[in-house]
Structure formats: C-alpha cells, structure tokens
Structure 1
Amino acid sequence: MKISDANKSMMPGINGTKTGKSKVKTAFQEVMNQVAERGGKEAGVPASVNTAHASPNITPPQLIRDLEGQDGIATRYRLMKEVENTLDLAGFYTQKLGDPGVKTTSLEPLVNHLEAKMEDLRFLQNNGKIDEELKAIVSDLDITLGTEVARFRRGDYS
C-alpha cells in the first residue's frame, strides 16, 4: 500500500523534518528563551535568590504566596456546604414525616443521621474561624434540629 501526500497536516512545520525537532519557532518558545536568558530576574524571582542550580519545578520560598487566612476560607466553605446538606436532609425528613404511608419507626436511621449532621456542624462551628452571621445560622439550625430530634425521641410523632 502506497502512502500518498493527501493526508498532510494543515499545521505549519508538522510535515517538515522527521528528526522530531521543528524548525518553526513559536512566540511562546521565544518568550521562554528570553526568560531563560535573563535567569528569571524579571519573572518575579527576587535578585537574592540564586536560580542557577534550581530545578524549574521547585519554587523558591520567597515566591510562595502567603496562605494565611486560606484555612478560614476553607472552613467557612466547608461549613456552608455542611449547612446546605443538613438543610436538604431536614427537608427530606420533613417530607417523610408528613407522608402518611411512612411509619415513624422507619425514620429512626434518618433521625440518627440528623444527629450526626448536628455534631458535624457543632464541630465546625467550634473549631473554625467563622463570621458571627454564619455562627448565628448554624446555631439556629442546631436548635431547630435538636428540637425535632427531641420531639421524635419523645414520641410526639408516634
């Protein structure tokens, strides 16, 4: 079978040499060469950092961004997601509780899960740096769910 030239690539430089080295210089390659020639001095690396023997995959300590406060943001996000999931679970519990075809005794595992969610919320609330507004929401949710769990355990819905 003869291979024809009909399947040539439309990209410049692709069909050129077979050595694997392209003769076409791209703008990106030129920029990378300029940065390499300057030794990274204009790319944000402080002059005090010797990059001559540094691996390109290792960031000098001076370039590492200060992550102070990132833990608080992550805790807040996690707490907000936990509140959202707990509210969804409480809505599901309310639907099942209002369904006349569902026996209240079958809701025991769901109530146990609500209690576990309450414990998770308390843990995140007490161990994280969160706003007062978010603390108030979590506190209200904790009280509401605690009341519902107590009513269920007391037998108000039987």
Structure 2
Amino acid sequence: MKIHPGDPLPGIPGSVPKAKDGSRSPAFGEVFTKTLHSRPEQVSSIVPAAPIRPPIATSFAGHLYGTTERALDAMERYQRLLGSAGVDLSTVEPAVQELENEIAALEPLMDGVPADDPVLPITRQTLRTAAREIARFYRGDYGDV
C-alpha cells in the first residue's frame, strides 16, 4: 500500500485538511517544494546553535557536581557534630572518615573536567577546607569535643 500526500486518514471523516474558504489545503509536499525553490531572501536564516560540550566532559562534570555536593553535606554534618554539646571524639570520627572518603572521590574527578567549569573553584575550596578540618581533627585541635 502506498501513501500519497492528501490521502484521507482511514476511519476519520474529514481528515483531508480544508482551507478557510472550503477548498482543499495544499499537501505538505507542495508547500515544501515551493519553499525549497523560493528565493533565498524569502527564507528565514537559520540561527546557529550554541556549542555543546562533549558528553564525556558533561559526564565528568555531573559526577564532580554530585560528589562536591556530597562532600559539602559531609562537612555540614561534621560541623553540626562539632557544635553539639556533650559530643565526644568517638562520635565525630565517623563523620571525619566520611569526609575523607568524599574528598578522596573528588580528586580524580577534577582531572576530567574542563578548566573553565564554574564548579571547579568551589570544588578546590571544598578540598582545601576539608583537608584543613581533617588535619585539625587528627592533630587534636578540638581536644575533647
């Protein structure tokens, strides 16, 4: 079975498009051919799309964003524990270990992300702050929290 432009749809009465004056509308093929052969100044110009980052960079960036967010969340939990009254170091240590794990996951992801990625400065600052806090904890700066 061959389908031709302007064929009515089976089972749907009035499926052939009609113009406002009641005559049959031109088929898509007619409109397309007419547009294709029209003068160039009558055809609207095509706006070029913005450049798209390659999928690999996007993938690394997505992982970097998520891991940075998890590291920041781990730092917040650590901060809350340090600020809680009556908390001893054994309660805080799992939060420090979680922070260490998140930081360890962040470092290799930074290599795969373009240098102009807007999250890189946040990630670098997160790494520096977390490293300082981990060092302070293990050095004993917080004593008996």
Could you tell me which residue of structure 2 aligns to residue 138 of structure 1?
123
Change (3 A) 1:68 1:85: closer
How far the C-alpha of 1:152 sits from its partner, in A, is 0.4
**Structure 1 stretches of 5 or more lacking a match?**
1-21, 28-37, 43-66
Could you tell me which residue of structure 2 aligns to residue 117 of structure 1?
102
* TM superposition score normalised by structure 1: 0.54
Pairing 1:90–2:75 present: yes
How far the C-alpha of 1:149 sits from its partner, in A, is 0.2
How far, CA to CA, are the matches of 2:117 and 2:55 in structure 1?
A: 18
Number of aligned residue pairs: give it: 102
Q: Is the 8 A contact 1:75 1:129 kept in 2?
A: no
Could you tell me which residue of structure 2 aligns to residue 78 of structure 1?
63
What is the CA RMSD across the aligned residues, in angstroms? 2.8
* TM superposition score normalised by structure 2: 0.59
Secondary structure of the structure 2 residue equivalent to 1:79:
helix
How far, CA to CA, are the matches of 2:128 and 2:78 in structure 1?
A: 16
Task: Give the counterpart letter for 1:69 in structure 2.
Answer: P
How far the C-alpha of 1:134 sits from its partner, in A, is 2.7
Change (3 A) 1:79 1:130: farther
Change (3 A) 1:91 1:69: same
**Structure 2 stretches of 5 or more lacking a match?**
1-9, 16-28, 33-51
Could you tell me which residue of structure 1 aligns to residue 22 of structure 2?
none
Change (3 A) 1:130 1:73: farther
How far the C-alpha of 1:82 sits from its partner, in A, is 1.5
| Equivalent in 112, 128, 145 of residue 127 of structure 1 | 112
How far, CA to CA, are the matches of 2:82 and 2:113 in structure 1?
A: 33
Task: Give the counterpart letter for 1:98 in structure 2.
Answer: G
How far the C-alpha of 1:77 sits from its partner, in A, is 2.1
Work out which structure has the larger RCO, using CA pairs closer than 8 Å and 6 or more positions apart in sequence. 2
